[in-house]
């Protein structure tokens, strides 16, 4: 048996402004402490400095929404893990379905990004998930296992140091969430796949993402292999995000 502490991470995506960020962060800080969960926000790159200043020594962590697979060099527009480390980032999201779909990121590129993050002490949050067509074709298990397999093979014995987020593409931003049973079934598949690769699988955090809201968070987080959430739209409202973090208890 293991007692994995819950983790709730807000993914702001391409949202934010100086004023909106300040209001959101102050709302989160005012709700501390979060007794049952670790809490973090992943902000757009330009705002990481102000997030770092606001959240310093608060107990709320922060991270980035992407990271380059390259350490440095002529890669215009890229941001390296070393740069994120300088801003105190603890997490870096890699392989989000929007990156896979809109930027053509492959499973191997996602794995390389996870490796780059780990090399600088960041915890990669590796996202996996199937489209609606893939689910309806009965391909969910094959898709998520393929996506995670590339990361396992690239990281080797370091695989135990990542966080995995299962985000069914058909549930992201649609208001449609996987049922607790559907989400748990996929998380169990991922946990078993990790168990074949590392003795640390039972202690690894597996998050669910996909239209998590205050009214469905508690039942999702109560599932045996769901250790918290990667939260999108609800992470932009302090009251909703705080309620989701509280639901981890």
Calculate ∠ Cα 188-189-191, nearest 5°. 60
First-last CA distance in the chain: 18
Residue 1 has pLDDT above 70, yes or no: no
Catalytic one among 98, 105, 130, 167? 167
Catalytic one among 96, 105, 130, 187? 96
Beta bridge partners of 123: 91
Q: Reply yes or no on whether 187 is catalytic.
A: no
* Nearest by Cα to 162 from 213, 110, 101: 110
Instruction: Read off the pLDDT band of 2 (50, 70, 90).
Output: low
Average pLDDT of the segment spanning 51-76? 98
For the chain, helix, strand, coil in percent to 5 are: 45, 15, 35
Q: What is the pLDDT of residue 85?
A: 98
Residues 6 or more apart in contact with residue 86 via CB below 8 angstroms: none
Q: Reply yes or no on whether 167 is catalytic.
A: yes
pTM of the model: 0.96
Q: Which two tokens stand for residue 95?
A: 């392989």
Instruction: Read off the pLDDT band of 223 (50, 70, 90).
Output: very high
Residue with tokens 């202690």: 203
For 171-206, the DSSP string reads GSSSS----HHHHHHHHHHHHHHHHTT-TTGGGS-E
Instruction: Read off the pLDDT band of 178 (50, 70, 90).
Output: confident
Q: What is the pLDDT of residue 173?
A: 72
Q: How many CB atoms lie within 10 A of CB 30?
A: 9
* Nearest by Cα to 135 from 98, 175, 166, 168: 168
Q: What is the pLDDT of residue 175?
A: 75
Q: What is the pLDDT of residue 65?
A: 98
Instruction: Read off the pLDDT band of 47 (50, 70, 90).
Output: very high
Summarize pLDDT for 101-144 with one digit per residue, the tens.
Answer: 999 999 999 999 999 999 999 999 999 999 999 999 999 999 99
Residue 202 has pLDDT above 60, yes or no: yes
Average pLDDT of the segment spanning 142-165? 98
Residues 6 or more apart in contact with residue 81 via CB below 8 angstroms: 67, 68, 71, 92, 116, 117, 119, 120, 122
What is the average pLDDT score of the chain? 96
């Amino acid at each position: 048996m293991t007692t994995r502490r819950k983790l709730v991470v807000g993914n702001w995506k391409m949202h934010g402004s100086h004023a909106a960020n300040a209001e959101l962060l102050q709302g989160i800080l005012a709700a501390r402490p979060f007794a049952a969960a670790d809490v973090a926000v992943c902000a757009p790159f330009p705002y990481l400095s102000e997030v770092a200043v606001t959240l310093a020594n608060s107990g709320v962590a922060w991270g980035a929404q992407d990271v380059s697979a390259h350490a440095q060099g002529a890669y215009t527009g890229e941001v390296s893990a070393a740069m994120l480390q300088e801003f105190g980032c603890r997490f870096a999201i890699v392989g989000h379905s929007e990156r896979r779909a809109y930027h053509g990121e492959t499973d191997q590129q996602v794995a390389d990004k996870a490796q780059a993050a780990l090399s600088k002490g960041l915890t990669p949050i590796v996202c996996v998930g199937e489209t609606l067509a893939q689910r309806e074709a009965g391909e969910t298990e094959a898709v998520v296992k393929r996506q995670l397999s590339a990361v396992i093979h690239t990281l080797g014995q370091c695989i135990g140091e990542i966080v995995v987020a299962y985000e069914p593409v058909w549930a992201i931003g649609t208001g449609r969430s996987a049922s607790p049973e559907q989400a748990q079934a996929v998380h169990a598949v991922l946990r078993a796949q990790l168990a074949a690769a590392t003795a640390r699988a039972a202690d690894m955090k597996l998050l669910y993402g996909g239209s998590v809201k205050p009214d469905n968070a508690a039942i999702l987080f109560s599932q045996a292999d769901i250790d918290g959430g990667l939260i999108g739209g609800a992470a932009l409202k302090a009251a909703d995000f705080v309620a989701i973090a509280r639901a981890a208890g």
